[in-house]
Structure 1
Amino acid sequence: MRQFPAFFLMDDAHVVIFGDGINAERKARLVAKTNASIRLITDTAPDWAAEYRDRLEMFSSDQAENALFGARFAIVALDGDAEAEAAVALAHAQGVPVNAVDRKHLCDFTVPSILDRGDIVAAVATGGAAPVLAKDIRAKLETLLPERIGDLASLAQRWRPAVKAAIEDETRRRHFWESTLRGAVAEAVHAGDDARAEALMAETLEQFSQSDQTPVGAVHIVGAGPGDPELLTLKAFRLIQQADIVFYDKLVSPEILDMVRRDAERVPVGKSKGEHLVPQDGIHELLIAAAREGKRVVRLKGGDPFIFGRGGEEVDALREAGIEADVVPGITSALGCAASARLPLTHRDHAQSVTFVTGHAQKGGVPDLDWPALARPHQTVVVFMGVGTAGIISEKLREAGLPGDTPVAVIENGTRENEKRAFGQIADLSSVIEARGIKGPALLIIGAVASLPREAQTLIIEKALA
């Protein structure tokens, strides 16, 4: 490790900046985000300095030695090489570490790419080798860290003395912080509900201090989306990274399961047609038991938990057991698969509404659907779990008045590497599925919009041949 990362405490500190150009202005703007005052070494009075008049004091070049005395560090942002080298030498004579802008060989330290979340600060440095890469990495971190994580750190700081006084045992104190900073308290802060966060802190601290039992954990019912890991929401990613145990369905892709925290327990509870690895009531019991053990629980479901995912039943069961249940939506497979196939579910010229239905019959046989309503024109019908009943669906829709030449698309494993697509007409639905060897999980998309991807592909080919 050629670079040693460290953070300067900036309370009651001052920083010296040499120069008055654009680089000096940029560094002043950065330093002004801290609590430090700025001493600017310049023989002119740049206009931008007025922005920091309450924090900035100007010194002439012949006063530089006095300005440097006791400085936390100095930044040299001068244009001329000779002037820059002289400023660096002057700072070194005072024992002040220096960063010289665009002069790596003169630097004692480099200024990293900084992510600022209040009390949480992250810095990425490449030693001046590739600043653009540092900025790219910082941007990725910004998408992963909740906007209010600094507020969570501030809350922890305020409560630290009370926690230390109430919980003498160091191990239990660590368990308390894990429970609060990764559980319901953290979620309340991230949601902007500071009053609830404070109340939960007090409640949890009382439970820890008065009992040896671990407080009941929360359960997050999380939508994993259609399969492409890049379609996972940031909140879903954060929760599966924090979970102690994850109960997951068969529709959750291996790529998303790979994102689960390595030391988290993973429990498959998936169901498919004719095969229930764990009955629904059994899933409820597993979730309740894990939460009562104080674990951070994630129930990971393909698509969105509240669209044919039985998430509502699980929420009801948990709340009846007195366990907090939060739901994190996911991109439903209808949206993901349609977008992957460049297929709009609504279109001003073709479909003014979209309807989601399930092709699975609760007791087998014919799905209990409003066939005349689904056969109306100028709409899109998306059928989940409809491969096994495709023949019946085709027959019932045509009996209800849907023309046999209505376009239909069948998309299996949408957004994944093994995605399959088939296009045809509703009258030929069964043969279309059979010809492409589609077994499921797959969606049926019925309506005029189902012809648009084929029309676009035909247009591309025609233009290429022209």
Structure 2
Amino acid sequence: MTSYVSMLTATDARSHIHLIIGSNPLAAARCGQSLSAGASPILLVSETAELHYALQKRIDDGEVKWVKETFRDEHLFTLGREEIDHVVDAVFVTSAREPSSAHISTLCKRNRIPVNVVDAPQLCTFSLLSTHVDGPLQIGITTNGRGCKLASRIRREVAASLPPNLGSACLRLGDVRRKIQEEDHLLHMALADGDDIDDSIDQLSTFNKLVTEADLDAAKNRRMRWLSQICEYWPLKRLAAITDADVSNILQSYTDLPSLPPSLNPNSNSNAHSNTPQKRGRIILAGSGPGHPDLLTRATLKAIRAADLILADKLVPQGVLDLIPRRTPVRIARKFPGNADAAQAELHELAVAAAREGKTVLRLKQGDPYVYGRGGEEVEFFRGQGFGLARGGVENGEGDVVVLPGVTSALSAPLFAGIPATQRDVADQVLICTGTGKKGKAPVPPEFVASRTVVFLMALHRVAGLVGELTEFLDSEVEKGEGKRRALWPRNTPCAVIERASCPDQRVIRTTLDKVVEAVEQEGSRPPGLLVVGAACEFLNKLQKGQAWTVEEGFRGLDFIGDELDLGA
């Protein structure tokens, strides 16, 4: 049987006419749903039917029109809106015992009228979702006919996990988008018709400056990009707490800024243009660990709380971002394939600009800054901009660069997956490698050592190529003599794919080199992830005979610790 999923849509039902067949509590509920959507429900049921009390009340209140007849085909084509030739917009059959259900469904399908028949998915052309409503925010869940009670349970769980007032935030952010569009339209109109400019106000110093269409488009795009980044990267808790003042500040953000508009930061100095000398700025590079916020160092947590601006890598997990004070501006790296260098350069420029204004900038990276985190490159860049690296003392320079260590996933992820990387009598060395070299070039593969555990970071997107390099000679090696070739890894070497280590959705795939490519293809990808290879992978977790791989979901290994310690604001 071929599986399928529904195409979920949101329908603007204002002014629509819904034909509801039945007199039971479900018919009353369908009438209520139609009214909530702005539609006009018509109840079609014989005069002798016993109406549910809620239906009777809606009829008595004039909310629902009652056509006191049994269903006839012409009802579909005579009770609807005049502008669509009186065809009804949708039909709801609310009783499983309705004898003409199959006929009504066939007739509706033939005439492309949406129809829903209770407890008969095969007769429906659409179904209603179990819906959570919070102002303009609607979240719908469907099991595609597998169980309405289950859909309702899932909907409640999802709704309970959301921060309060998220619907209000949707309203505010929607207002921002609308106002940006309206203001830009007025600016274009003013540019097209200069005579309409209001000369009753004082002229600005830029009055005589030529304003072009390109200028206006650039300003609009800057604000729209900023709005998009707010929606994309702010934690939901921060989005839900957005205020009218925040909205006002977003609307004023016409120019390119190194961070949020200064007015969005209560700690910013409103007298920035005074003659008071600014304090020295500082740039802190810190590792956020593998994922779980409890694995932050105390130094990094203090830096998060003290920073004036935080520039975070896109893989820094939500649990860590949730620790950032609401007052602190945050920019997430816009890294995607082909844009990594540009995104890195953008963060460099933002950090330097803010530090030169006397701010403390936290460059928050995943894992450890110096373990495949490009931390060395960043320090080198900042030193080139006059910022000295603090090493016990302080070098002369415009400001200081401080590097804080983080728990690297290269060592912690195997632990969370139950892999003792240096198990006695099994593995006496650990090698940390990258699976992807600079500009995507494949790095030199390590040779096989029976007592070695190898951890490959940034490797899963090219796991097939990596396995081939480990288990087969490269073209350049074939030309060498037997004694000069590296030792190849046996294809039955145990290995493990560890994804989102220490996060609630951690996943571990245990397998062997000859099966890992197939396992990743079948199970899919859940970045960030890494590959561990070596005999230590099976010391505590051996595959059963005949098993190609196993999958372990979830991580609750730190739940016993309880709430985080309050280390002071």
Alignment of 1:175-194 (within 5 A): none
Distance across 2 between alignment mates of 1:231 and 1:327: 17
Corresponding residue to 1:393 among 466, 483, 504: 466
Deviates further, 254-263 or 432-441: 432-441
Change (3 A) 1:272 1:298: same
Q: Deviations over 1:309-336 (max 9, x none)?
A: 0011111111221221101100001222
1:381 maps to what in 2?
454
The within-5 A match list for 1:194-343 is 212-276=276-340, 278-323=342-387, 324-343=400-419
Is the Cα–Cα contact under 8 Å of residues 497 and 529 in structure 2 kept in the other structure?
Answer: yes
- Where structure 2 has 5 or more consecutive residues not aligned to the other structure, the ranges are 1-266, 388-399, 473-486, 546-569
Normalised TM-score (structure 2): 0.42
Equivalent-residue separation in structure 1 for 2:540 and 2:311 (angstroms): 36
Q: In the aligned structure 2, how far is the partner of 1:328 from the partner of 1:456?
A: 39
Q: Which residue pairs with 2:511 in the alignment?
A: 424
- Taking structure 1 as reference, are residues 417 and 250 closer, same or farther at Cα in structure 2, changes over 3 Å only? same
- Give 2:465's aligned amino acid: I
User: What do the CA deviations read for 1:93-123 (whole angstroms, capped 9, x no partner)?
Assistant: xxxxxxxxxxxxxxxxxxxxxxxxxxxxxxx
Q: Deviations over 1:413-448 (max 9, x none)?
A: 010011111011112221121222124211100000
The aligned amino acid for 2:414 is A
Of residues 529, 533, 536 in structure 2, which corresponds to 1:442? 529
In the alignment, the residues of structure 2 paired with residue 339 and residue 273 of structure 1 have an alpha-carbon distance, to the nearest angstrom, of: 30
Q: Structure 1 residues 413 and 274 mapped into 2: Cα distance closer, same or farther (>3 Å)? A: farther
| Kept after mapping to 2: 8 A contact 1:407/1:450 | yes
Give the deviation of 1:453 after TM superposition: 3.6
Residue 430 of structure 2 corresponds to 354
Summarize deviations over 1:101-159 as a string: whole Å, max 9, x none.
xxxxxxxxxxxxxxxxxxxxxxxxxxxxxxxxxxxxxxxxxxxxxxxxxxxxxxxxxxx
Residue pair 1:346, 1:449 contacting (<8 A) in 2 also: yes
1:403 aligns with 2:486: no
Query: Closer, same or farther in 2 for the Cα pair 1:363/1:379, shift >3 Å?
Result: same
CA deviation profile, 1:162-187 (whole Å, cap 9, x unmatched): xxxxxxxxxxxxxxxx99xxxxxxxx
Query: What is the RMSD computed on CA atoms of the aligned residues?
Result: 2.4
Secondary structure of 1:388 counterpart: helix
Contact preservation (8 Å) 1:269, 1:278: no
Q: Normalized per residue, which structure has more helix?
A: 1
Counterpart secondary structure, 1:315: helix
Distance in 1 (alpha carbons) for counterparts of 2:336 and 2:423: 33
Aligned equivalents of 1:396, 1:278: Cα separation in 2: 30
Consecutive unaligned residues of structure 1, counting only runs of 5 or more, are 1-177, 180-207, 459-466
Shift of residue 273, structure 1, vs aligned partner: 4.0
Shift of 1:272: 4.3
- The answer to whether the 8 A contact 1:338-1:345 is kept is yes
Change (3 A) 1:315 1:457: farther
What is the letter of the counterpart of residue 404 of structure 1? R
- Distance in 2, Cα, partners of 1:339 & 1:457: 21
Change (3 A) 1:250 1:278: same
Instruction: Indicate the SS of the match to 1:454.
Output: coil
Aligned to 1:165: none
Question: Residues 325-372 of structure 1, C-alpha deviation per residue, up to 9 Å, x if partnerless?
Answer: 10110000122211211211111111111111111132335x122x3x
Normalising by structure 1, report the TM-score: 0.51
One of 363, 381, 384 as aligned partner of 2:439: 363
Taking the aligned partners of 1:389 and 1:361, their CA distance within structure 2 comes to 11
What do the CA deviations read for 1:249-299 (whole angstroms, capped 9, x no partner)? Answer: 111111111111220100111524445395322221111111001111100
State the Cα distance separating 1:392 from its structure 2 match: 1.1
Equivalent in the alignment of 1:168: none
Distance 1:338 1:274 in 2: 30
Structure 1 runs (4+) deviating above 6 angstroms are none
- CA contact 1:243–1:296 (8 Å) conserved in 2: yes
Matches within 5 A, 1:103-142: none
User: Which residue does the alignment assign to 2:234?
Assistant: none
Task: Give the distance between the partners of 2:343 and 2:301, measured in 1 at CA.
Answer: 27
Q: Cα–Cα, structure 1 residues 274 and 419, in superposed 2: closer, same or farther, change >3 Å?
A: farther
Aligned pairs for 1:78-97 within 5 A: none
Distance (whole Å) between structure 2 residues aligned to residue 456 and residue 424 of structure 1: 7
**2:302 and 2:459 mapped to 1: Cα distance?**
33
Q: Structure 1: how far apart are the matches of 2:440 and 2:379?
A: 26
